[in-house]
Amino acid sequence: MTVTIVGAQLGDEGKGGVVDVFSDAADIIVRYQGGDNAGHTVVEDDEEYKLSLVPSGAIRGKIGVLGNGCVVNPRTLFTEIDKLQDRGLSPDVRVARRAHVILPYHRVIDGIEEDTKEDDDLAAGTTGRGIGPTYEDKAGRRGIRIGDLLDPEVLRARLEYVVPQKRELLSSVYGVDPDEIEDPENAFDIDALYEEYKSYGERLKEEGMTVNSGAFLTQAIEDGNKVMLEGAQGTSLDIDHGVYPYVTSSNPSAGAASVGTGLGVTTVGQGEVIGVIKAYLSRVGTGPLPTELGDIDEQTAGSGTTAEDEIASYIRDRGGEYGTVTGRPRRVGWIDMPMLRHATRTNGFTGIAVNHIDVLAGLETVKVGHSYTLDGEEQLTMPTTTEEWGQCEPNYREFDGWDDVDWKQVSEQGYEALPENAQEYLDYISSELSVPVYAVGVGAERDETIIRKHPF
Ligand code: IMP
C-alpha cells in the first residue's frame, strides 16, 4: 500500500517530521517531484543530517527513491551520499532512469532569469537550483535524463544539440558571454560537461542505482512492501494549482504522486493521502498573502499595524521562521482556510497532520481567515488568479488562545492532553475540511508529534 504526504500550503509545513514519524512503518520512501530545492534536517542517534535530495528515510536504513518526476542534480546527489558515507552510513538510493538531470547551465539561467524578472515584480524568489529551467527543457523535449547518462553516445548527442542553444540564449537574449561565467565553471562547455556527466553515469551504473521507477515500485508493492510517496514544497506552490507565477515548476499535489513515480492512479488512490498543515502561514519571498500579519521590508506592501507586527514577530521567533541559508525573516500570517479547502479538494486528503500548535501558545487570541470577500461576495476557496487572490479581504474567526505547557509531556500523554482551546482549533480545521486529524506536531523533536491514527 502507499501513503502520500503532501504540503497543504506554501511549503515549510514540517512535512519532513511527518514523513519521519510515519515512515517508521514504510520500507521504501519515494520523492515524486522537485529536486534539491527542498531542504530537510534529520536527526538520527543525536547526529544531525542536512539533506536536500537524498530522501530522509535512506538514513534510517530504508530504500530512498527519486522518482521520474524529480529533477536530479548528480553533483548534489553524490556530494550528499559521499558525506553520509564519510559518517559511516550506507544510504540505499535509487534514481529513476526517466528523471531529468539538472546541469550547471540550468542553475546559471535560473539566476539570470530571476534577475531579469525582478524589474517587473515577476521574480518567484527561486532557490536558484536550476529547477525551473530543467523542467522547461523537459517540457521542451530537449532535456537530458538519468538514463542518457548511462549511454555516452546518447549523452554526447544530447549535449551537442542543447548546449549551443543555451549559449545562444545567454549571448543573444541576455547579453552575457557564456564563456565568462565562472560559477559554476564550464557550464556551457560541451566537452567538460560530457566528461563530468559521463562519469556520473558510470558511478550510477557501477553502484546499480538506477531503476525503472514504476516497475520497481509496483513489484515492491506486490511483494508486500509499504511505500511512502513524499511531496516537496506545497499545494499553493504547485505550477497548476498554486499562486502562479510565484510557484515552483512541478506539481507538489497528490496527482503527481502517480505521474512522478509510474505507479497507477488506482494504486495511489487506494492508499492514504495526508495533508500537512502548519497552524499558521509562512511565506518566503514575494506575492500576495491575504492573511499576512504585519509586514517585512521589500517583501510586502506594508499595510500591517504595530500590533500585528508584534504578533508576527512572536510567531516568527517561536517558530524559527527565518530562512535557513539567508537568515531572512519569513512572512507570517494566520491560517488561510480557503487555501486549505482548495488543497483538500485538489489532493483528496484522507487525513491531515497539523504542525506547530506549540508555536501559537501564549497568544490571547488566535485568528483564522475563514473566508474571503472578493467583489462584495463571500468566497470559501481560492480564486483562480493570483491577482484576484491579492484583492481578497479575509473574514476572520477568532479562537481563545492556549497556554504554553510542557509539550513533551503532552506528546507522551496523547491528543486528550492538548489544551482544550487548541483542541477546539483543531476540531474547527478538521470539520471545515471534513478530514480527520491524524497527527499533531507540538515541538521540533521527533517524539513531539502526537499520532492519532497511523496511516500504514
Ligand atoms: P524553485 O522551486 O527554486 O524554482 O522556486 C520557486 C518558488 O518555490 C520560490 O518562491 C521558492 O521560494 C519556492 N520554494 C521552492 N522550494 C521550496 C521549499 O522547499 N519551501 C518553501 N518554498 C519553496
For residue 127, the ligand 1 atom closest to its alpha carbon is: 3
pLDDT score of 157: 98
Q: Which domain holds residue 166?
A: 101-204
pLDDT, averaged across the chain: 94
Same domain for 443 and 308: yes
323 falls in which pLDDT band (50, 70, 90)? confident
Residue 344 included in any domain: yes
Are 127 and 112 contained in the same domain?
Answer: yes
Evaluate: CB of 13 within 6 angstroms of ligand 1. no
> Ligand 1 atom closest to Cα of 124?
10
Higher pLDDT pick, 449 / 41: 449
Cell of 186: 564550464
Helix (H, G, I), strand (E, B) or coil at 267: helix
pLDDT in tens, 295-318: 776 555 555 678 888 999 999 999
Q: Is the CB of 249 under 6 A from ligand 1?
A: yes
Q: Hey, whose CA ends up nearest to atom 21 of ligand 1?
A: 11
Decide: 152 and 198 in contact? Cβ < 8 Å.
yes
Question: How far apart are the CA of 126 and the centre of ligand 1, in A?
Answer: 5
Give yes or no: residues 295 and 415 share one domain.
yes
Give residue 315's pLDDT. 96
More confident residue, 407 or 125: 407
Instruction: Inform me whether the pLDDT recorded for 326 exceeds 70.
Output: no
pTM of the entire predicted model? 0.95
pLDDT at 393: 97
In a domain, 18, yes or no: yes
In a domain, 456, yes or no: no
Q: Is the CB of 131 under 6 A from ligand 1?
A: yes
Indicate if the pLDDT at residue 77 is higher than 70.
yes
Catalytically annotated residues: 12, 40
User: In this structure, are strands 335-336 and 365-374 parallel, antiparallel, or unpaired?
Assistant: parallel
Q: What is the pLDDT of residues 242-273, one digit of tens each?
A: 999 999 999 999 999 999 999 999 999 999 99
Residues 315 and 411 in one domain: yes
How many whole angstroms from 127 Cα to the centroid of ligand 1?
6
- Could you tell me if residue 152 is inside a domain? yes
Q: What is the pLDDT of residue 300?
A: 58
Can you spell out the DSSP letters for 213-258? HHHHHHHHHHTT--EEEE--S-GGG-TTTSSTTSS-SS--STHHHH
Q: What is the pLDDT of residue 298?
A: 54
> Are 68 and 149 part of one and the same domain?
no
**Poorest-confidence range of 34-48, 66-80, 212-226, 273-287?**
34-48
Q: What is the mean pLDDT of residues 327-335?
A: 90
Whether residue 371 sits in one domain with residue 293: yes
- Is residue 399 included in any domain, yes or no? yes
- pLDDT for position 55: 87
Q: Is residue 170 part of a domain?
A: yes
307/268 same-domain check: no
- Domain harbouring 240, CATH code: 3.40.440.10
236 shares a domain with 89? yes
Query: pLDDT digit string (tens) for 105-164?
Result: 999 999 999 888 877 777 778 889 999 999 999 999 999 999 999 999 999 999 999 999
Across the range 401-412, mean pLDDT stands at 96
pLDDT for the residue 63: 97
- Tell whether ligand 1 has an atom less than 6 A from the beta carbon of residue 124: yes
**Do 441 and 296 belong to one domain?**
yes
What is the count of structural domains for the chain? 3
Distance CA 339, CA 9 (A): 7
Domain-ending residue, one of 174, 204, 234: 204
Q: Which residue has the higher pLDDT, 273 or 327?
A: 273
CATH number of the domain to which 365 belongs: 3.90.170.10
Domain end marker among 242, 274, 306: 274
Cβ neighbours for 356, distance < 8 A, ≥ 6 positions apart: 14, 278, 279, 280, 319, 441
CA dist 333 and 197 (Å) reads 43
Q: Which residues contact 385 (CB under 8 A, 6 or more apart)?
A: none
Per-residue pLDDT at 304: 63
CA distance to 30, 150, 202, 203, 449, per residue, from 206 (Å): 22, 10, 6, 5, 40
> What would the pLDDT profile of 369-398 be if each residue is shown by its tens digit?
999 999 999 999 999 999 999 999 999 999
Ligand 1 atom nearest 246 alpha carbon: 10
Looking at ligand 1, which residue's alpha carbon is closest to its atom 2?
248
Residue 436 domain flag: yes
Which one of 188, 204, 220 terminates a domain? 204
Q: How many other CB atoms are found less than 10 A from the CB of residue 267? A: 20
Mean pLDDT of 47-70: 90
pLDDT tens digits, 272-291: 999 999 999 998 877 899 99
Considering the domain architecture, whether residues 444 and 429 belong to the same structural domain is answered as yes
Q: Does residue 125 have its Cβ closer than 6 Å to ligand 1?
A: yes
Decide if 134 is inside a domain: yes
Q: What is the pLDDT of residue 445?
A: 83
198 and 218 assigned to the same domain: no
Measured CA to CA, the distance from residue 204 to residue 181 in angstroms comes to 28
Q: Tell me what pLDDT residue 152 has.
A: 98
Quickly state the pLDDT bin for 29 (edges 50, 70, 90): very high
Alpha-carbon span 8 to 77, nearest angstrom:
27
Other C-beta atoms within 10 Å of 131: how many? 27
Say if ligand 1 is within 6 A of residue 248 CB: yes
The three cell numbers of residue 430 are: 478538521
Same domain, yes or no, for 234 and 153? no
Distance CA 390, CA 374 (A): 10
What are the φ/ψ torsions at residue 298 (nearest 5 degrees)?
A: 70, -5
* Ligand 1 atom nearest to 132, measured from its CA: 4
Domain of 195, CATH number, reads 1.10.300.10
